[in-house]
Structure 1
Amino acid sequence: MSILRRLFVFPFILLLLTLGCAEKSAEQGKEKPHVRGIITDFEEERGQVLIENKEDGGVDSGPIWVSLSKDAELIIEEEIVTVSLDETLVGRSAEVWINGVIAQSYPPQTKAVKMVIH
């Protein structure tokens, strides 16, 4: 009888683990962007855009150079695109999610894992 109870409990534990993982994935998708602001410049040689970063509440936290990582998701006007960054994006607003690494240069530089252009 002990084995029968264990066999009954095992699927229940798997169900709870699955639900817990699904909840975490949904929360990660709703994470706030790390960089948000207006694209003010483009550097063709490095494929980077300069974003005047605005924190929540509109506080200016300075410019940051952003390029796309190898597997980055670029969304322009709510459509996923496969083009690279270019000078036509200057003047548009952007939201950027990064992998957490920011080079300590001035202005700082980072790679985006996801970029949304409005």
Structure 2
Amino acid sequence: MSILRRLSLFPFILLLLTLGCTEKSEEQGEEKPHVRGMITDFEEEKGQVLIENKEDGGVESGPIWISLNTDAELIIEGETVTVSLDETLVGRGAEVWINGIIAQSYPPQTKAVKMVIH
């Protein structure tokens, strides 16, 4: 195969790799949650919940404090609500999408742009 022909395949291969590496859920058509796990604590002063984060496959990656961004979408039991986080959520499962900024504290802290409580 000539070098020119090989180089013409390069953009096609890159496109296939890019499409294959996206983290989209086939059922929902949206990104997978960044944080997923059980809510184990509530901090009233800061209005945040502590989630024991579990990666795909159930591997624990440690706790993370989550508060809501000012324009965050909060969905509880399939219904979008306008209430704030509170202690009644402790013991429930949660999925969280974040804006990508995580404070390097222990446990780490971040703000959710979308949170789904089960």
TM beyond 0.5: yes
Residue identity (%): 88
The residue that corresponds to 2:104 in the other structure is: 104
Q: For the residues of structure 2 that align with 1:97 and 1:46, how far apart are their CA atoms?
A: 19
Q: CA RMSD in A?
A: 1.4
Cα offset, 1:29, TM superposition: 5.5
The number of residues matched between the two structures is: 92
The amino acid across from 2:39 in the alignment is I
Structure 1 runs of 4+ off > 2 angstroms? Answer: none
Name which one, 1 or 2, has greater alpha-carbon Rg.
1
The residue that corresponds to 2:54 in the other structure is: 54
Relative to 1, partners in 2 of residues 1:117 and 1:103: Cα closer, same or farther, differing over 3 Å? same
Deviation by residue 1:56-80 (Cα, 9 ceiling, x = unmatched): 0000000000000000000000000
The residue that corresponds to 1:76 in the other structure is: 76
The unaligned stretches of length 5 or more in structure 2 are: 1-25
Query: TM-score normalized by structure 2?
Result: 0.76
Query: TM-score normalized by structure 1?
Result: 0.76
Q: For the residues of structure 2 that align with 1:30 and 1:69, how far apart are their CA atoms?
A: 19
The residue that corresponds to 1:31 in the other structure is: 31
Q: Does 1:42 align with 2:37?
A: no
Q: For the residues of structure 2 that align with 1:49 and 1:55, how far apart are their CA atoms?
A: 18
Cα offset, 1:48, TM superposition: 0.3
Higher helix share: 1
